[in-house]
Structure 1
């Protein structure tokens, strides 16, 4: 990987699981310190899909990757506003001077075509690390939340370092969620 490139992954991490960690390690190997995790939907309404708020998701991430860069990105009314805000965040890191340099040096990373289609349609560089090709773990946050709901094992889904924290927080919030 050319160290002049910046790797960016935009995802919810709700919660961070083994596949996320696998991808983060690939990014660390490929982009060294030149990558950024962006947590989107940071202002979403409390729902099963957005069960953990930004602070909680960030906390899980920092338990596993305390030295890695992470920023939040709320939802916006339009794709163009969202991309403008994302570009402003990336430019603020000082990696480049303007949007044209950003377009040349940033690679958006995803784990399937659907993840990067949005960026591809806006003429952004993309890299797919395919989770469906049989070479990587195929885990989703939906699967993790389902295991939490049904009190199943989190082995092979979450890193043991965050098992108890995620489960305890989920249990507390689940009681509130059931009343909504």
Structure 2
């Protein structure tokens, strides 16, 4: 029985974290430029990172489905397991909904460039669908912020207060620690 996530699961988790750390500032920067090529570039980077996050989450879910997750430490209560599962499930859901609604907004009547390398087909222009996608995307960002804050707060609680090794499930083994 594994005590840690697999190395690939760990890598995918931390790559997703890094992608999210870029994705958000890209749109903040874009919003501060007037319409034009610079703003378009920053939006393209935001949209491309969103598509990347979507693909990463699909890969993560597939890997998780195929390989499972390590067991929780024995002292983890049923309530803590339930809250962790709920937060993870909602994070995965929001991390899938956000890129889909973003793609629907970006591709509402036009192609969507992916890092300037290829153009992905957009949807036929539909004002009502674009408005709905925008509404979901805007509210989804606040759900994502809240879920990430809860995730980081729970991790901090496990590290600083409980000191129960829960974080180590998502970290590689240390040098003096035998691998399972």
TM-score by length of 1: 0.28
TM-score by length of 2: 0.28
The structure that has the greater radius of gyration is 2
Q: Hey, which of these two has a bigger chunk of strand by percent?
A: 1
